Amino acid sequence: MKIVTIVGARPQFIKAATVSRVISVHHKDDLKEVIVHTGQHFDEKMSEIFFKEMDIPEPDYNLGINSMSHGAMTGQMLEKIEELLLREKPDLTLVYGDTNTTLAGALAAVKIHIPVAHVEAGLRSFNMHMPEEINRVVTDRVSSLLFCPTPMAIKNLKAEGYPNRLYDGKEQKVLCVGDVMYDAALFYSGRVQKEPDILKDLKLKKGEFVLCTIHRSENTDNRDRLKEILLALSHISKSIEVVLPLHPRTGKIIDSDVVLKDIASTLKIIEPVGYFDMISLIMSCQIVMTDSGGLQKEAYFFKKYCITMRDETEWIELVEHSVNFLAGAKRDTIISIYENISSREFVDSNGLYGDGKAAEKVVESILKYVG
């Protein structure tokens, strides 16, 4: 049996690494995996380093599609993915998350009647202004296997009438398998250095810095929101170092604006980092501040409070358990939440994302479906 796995962005590399490892270690005689990298994240620090560090097999195809509008990018991906799916003739196409890569892979496959499996199905922000929300909603609708990371994701799908009947008359299978990113955190954290080089290189001390990332278009494409976030970070940086691994796109926006660039100069801006360096920074920081979906969970995995600079989150269970705090993009709100939790001891809520065997359940379900 053969599957085509389609990835293109940092979080997808991490998720795919767990599933690819299960296939190669336990099912290499049963299942052939063909990996397609769309090129959505093309920077070496955003892409290649993850394949090297995490022992992900080199992609069989690299489409090199990036730096375009949503429509142009998705359209080109659709065209190229369709070509290679017709060539490879897989039994199933596997997609992850909520990016343009996810949507293009799912649409290309289902239009030529290849079943789709969606890892991280059922997540909802209920904000249709987010490209990611559109991507995940459409991908869920055309997928045959919906692998949900949490009971909340199952609840969301049930509220929308899932499972549905698909084009071939079969009913979709909705399964709660846990979160493959939790699998990755458990497996790869054992490889992290006790005294990480990145802390020495950046002259950082454990517990004495805040880790922050900003990349969502709702923040970066809205100057007022981005300015408010940067002003909040600048204020916080007066009392503790704020480390900001800067996404290339966010960096270009800041560099093109004199005011934003001046505010950002108060922060410790660094190049994007690989997975192990990021884990090291999460494990060593005081608090995480982000608009990234994946980093919200990674903060929880490593027992760090997270301030989410968005108006909503798909990971509502983290908010309900008071380990993640929605701040929006208001300077005073961000600062107030930080001051309230900066000295608070982390209170763990175990078992929110499964038992660390999500990837095994994904592969077993795929084998059963296509077998």
Residue 113 is among the residues annotated as catalytic for this protein: no
The pLDDT value given to residue 64: 86
Q: What is the pLDDT of residues 261-270, one digit of tens each?
A: 999 999 999 9
* Contact in structure between 299 and 280 (CB atoms under 8 Å): no
Confidence of residue 253 (pLDDT cuts 50, 70, 90): very high
Q: What is the pLDDT of residues 289-315, one digit of tens each?
A: 999 999 999 999 999 999 999 999 999
Structural domains of the chain, with CATH: 2-179+354-370 (3.40.50.2000), 194-341 (3.40.50.2000)
Q: What is the pLDDT of residues 25-50, one digit of tens each?
A: 989 899 999 999 998 765 555 556 66
Catalytic residue, candidates 37, 41, 118, 215:
215
CA distance 219 to 332: 16
Query: Tokens 């959505």 correspond to what residue?
Result: 40
* Contact in structure between 113 and 167 (CB atoms under 8 Å): yes
3-state secondary structure 26-37: HCCCCCEEEEEE
Mean pLDDT taken over the chain: 93
Closest by Cα among 54, 144, 45, 62 to 101: 62
The pLDDT value given to residue 47: 56
Considering Cα of 116, then 118, then 124, then 129, what sign does the dihedral take?
A: negative
**3-state percent helix, strand, coil for the chain, nearest multiple of 5:** 45, 15, 40
Confidence of residue 250 (pLDDT cuts 50, 70, 90): very high
pLDDT higher than 80, residue 196: yes
CA distance 94 to 211: 32
pTM, whole model, 2 decimals?
A: 0.90
The pLDDT value given to residue 149: 97
Q: What is the pLDDT of residues 112-164, one digit of tens each?
A: 999 999 999 999 999 999 899 999 999 999 999 999 999 999 999 999 999 98
**Phi, psi dihedrals of residue 8, rounded to the nearest 5°:** -165, -10
Looking at the DSSP bridge assignments, the partners of residue 290 are 213, 308
The pLDDT value given to residue 169: 75
pLDDT higher than 80, residue 67: no
CB atoms within 10 A of CB 283: 18
Judged by average pLDDT, the poorest of 36-50, 100-114, 222-236, 264-278 is 36-50
**Phi, psi dihedrals of residue 246, rounded to the nearest 5°:** -95, 120
With pLDDT > 70 as the criterion, what percentage of the chain qualifies?
A: 97
